[in-house]
Each structure stands twice: as C-alpha cells, then as structure tokens.
Amino acid sequence: MMRPIEENGGVPIGYNPLALHAPPLKTGLINPVVLAYMGDAVFELLVRQYLISLPNNKSHHMHKEATKWVSAKAQRELLERWQPHLTEEEADIARRGRNTKSGSPPKNADPADYRMATALECLVGYLYFEGRLERIGELFHIALSGRK
C-alpha cells in the first residue's frame, strides 16, 4: 500500500488505490527503467480507455489506432508537446528516463525517439507510483488536444 504523504479531508494525498503492491523504495529512488516499465502499461491503459470511448469499437481498428499512440516516434512528439507544461520535478524525472540505459531500441525505432519514449514512460510511471493520477489525466488531456 502506498504511504500517504498527508491527509486532505480524510483522503491521503499521494495515495493510489490502483497500486496494490507498492515498490519498496521511495519513487524518486526507483530505477528509471522500472518506472518506464510501469509507465508503458499505464499509458497503454489510458490509450485503450480513450479508444474504447470512441464510436468505432472494432478490435482491428482500435489496435491500428493504438499503434499511432504507443510508437517511439509518437511518444517523442507527445513528450515534446508536454514539455512546456511540466513542472521542474517532472522535467527532471523525464530527463532521468531519457538518459538511462534501457537496452537497445527496436529495429524500426530511431534511437533518439526511443530514448524520448522511455522518458515519457518514466514520467508516467513516476506519477503513477506517486499517486498523482489527476496529473496523469491532465497530461493525457494535453495529448488529446493535439490529436488530429
């Protein structure tokens, strides 16, 4: 269970009801690759929820649309749109994710795009473990506002 930071009307700030198994370390001490691993799953969940909310719920169509969101290039572009909206703390976390060694990128991904995608996923994973789900929602709405 996540440790509450402080009480706010009976609801702990920083509490994430979805984090049933909290990491043993403070979020800022978790390896950026591990944060990106979780961030990848959280981001994918947000994309799937969004696509299910649209009129065309055919699985093939949703899969094709999802790949437009989760590619390294798409995530790099999205992080670039988020940059002006990030706090200093969030920018630092994204920078840690970008600079970490996370293995070799897929054959079809540009290495620079892959590093930026890891940065985005690291940030989302960090916010998730910090219990800042509203902030993830705010950033995702920025992502939606830039979609064609």
Catalytic annotation, residues: 40
Which 3 state secondary structure label does DSSP give 73? helix
Q: Is the sign of the CA dihedral 82, 50, 146, 65 positive or negative?
A: positive
Inter-CA distances, 63 with 46, 59, 73, 125, Å: 14, 6, 17, 23
DSSP 14-44: T--TT-SS--SS-GGGS-HHHHHHHHHHHHH
Q: How many helices (H) and strands (E) does the chain have?
A: 6, 2
Which 3 state secondary structure label does DSSP give 59? helix
Asked if residue 87 lies in contact with residue 4, where contact means CB atoms within 8 angstroms, the answer is no
DSSP 57: -
